């Protein structure tokens, strides 16, 4: 079985640009969460979606948005990129259990 | 203020010894506490989950304890191996039920097991 798939794996963008990150959950998992992990820090919660509805939002500016599609895949969008948005963006999917399965992340570098 | 603190210093131990990692929290009421392993450039990998009404959980060489009075969890790796070298993260979940889940993470502790 495929795990959580994130794309792209690495990305370099310029300040002010827009980025879209994608996540495919484990088959059958209806919940997808997004986290931002700055180097040397723990992950910070950005969004959770369940059954295509937003179920939670972390303390991130409105430049960050997300959505979940009917097949439960998800996109994270970030507008007007800042240098401080450089981080590893993690997606986690969850089925019936309490623990999530994480993808390998997308490493975003803003220059 | 709310805080989750893990051993700030990297932990270096000899192969075969027991590694003990600490997670302390302040001003949270976790329903669940989870431990993850993270290798450089990779996503966290789930190891163990313990509920607020549980004192101890074991899985193979891993053991986690949870003391809600002390607001502390300890994570033990017995008979440690060089392959156990990684960063270990604790994460809290305050939701007791439902599908709204949000993990609050510590900074992680780097563990190095020397052969």
Q: Rounded to a whole number, what is the distance in Å from the CA of B60 to chain A's nearest CA?
A: 18
Nearest to B101 among A41, A44, A48 (CB): A48
Tens-digit pLDDT profile for residues A31-58: 999 999 999 899 999 999 999 999 999 9
CB of A39 closer than 8 Å to CB of B110: no
Domains identified in chain A and CATH numbers:
5-110 (2.60.40.10)
- The number of helices, as runs of H, and strands, as runs of E, in chain B is 0, 11
Tokens representing A102? Answer: 């994480």
What's the CA angle centered on A98, arms B62 and A2, to 5 degrees? Answer: 85
Q: Rounded to a whole number, what is the distance in Å from the CA of A18 to chain B's nearest CA?
A: 23
**CATH code, residues B3-114:** 2.60.40.10
CB of B11 closer than 8 Å to CB of B17: no
B9's CB contacts (< 8 A; 6+ apart) are none
CB contacts < 8 A, A to B, total: 69
In this prediction, residue B98 carries a pLDDT of 72
Tens-digit pLDDT profile for residues B20-68: 999 999 999 888 999 999 999 899 999 999 999 999 999 999 999 999 9
In this prediction, residue B7 carries a pLDDT of 85
């Amino acid at each position: 079985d495929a795990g959580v798939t994130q794309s792209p794996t690495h990305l370099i963008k310029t300040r002010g640009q827009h980025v879209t990150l994608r996540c495919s959950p484990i088959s059958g998992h209806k919940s997808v969460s997004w986290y931002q992990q700055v180097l040397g820090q723990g992950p910070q919660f950005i969004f959770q979606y369940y059954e295509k509805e937003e179920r939670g939002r972390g303390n991130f500016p409105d430049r960050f948005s997300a959505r979940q599609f009917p097949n439960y895949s998800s996109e994270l969008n970030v507008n007007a990129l800042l240098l401080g948005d450089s981080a590893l963006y993690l997606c986690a999917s969850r089925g019936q259990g309490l623990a999530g399965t994480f993808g390998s992340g997308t490493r975003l570098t803003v220059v | 203020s709310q805080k989750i603190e893990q051993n700030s210093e990297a932990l270096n131990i000899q192969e075969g010894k027991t590694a003990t990692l600490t997670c302390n929290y302040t001003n949270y009421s976790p329903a669940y506490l989870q431990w993850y392993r993270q290798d450089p450039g990779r996503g966290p990998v789930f190891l163990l989950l313990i509920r607020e009404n549980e004192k101890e959980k074991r899985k193979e060489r891993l053991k986690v304890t949870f003391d809600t009075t002390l607001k502390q969890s300890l994570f033990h790796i017995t008979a440690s191996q060089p392959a156990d070298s990684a960063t270990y993260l604790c994460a809290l979940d305050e939701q007791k039920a439902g599908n709204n889940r949000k993990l609050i993470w510590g900074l992680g502790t780097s563990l190095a097991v020397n052969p």
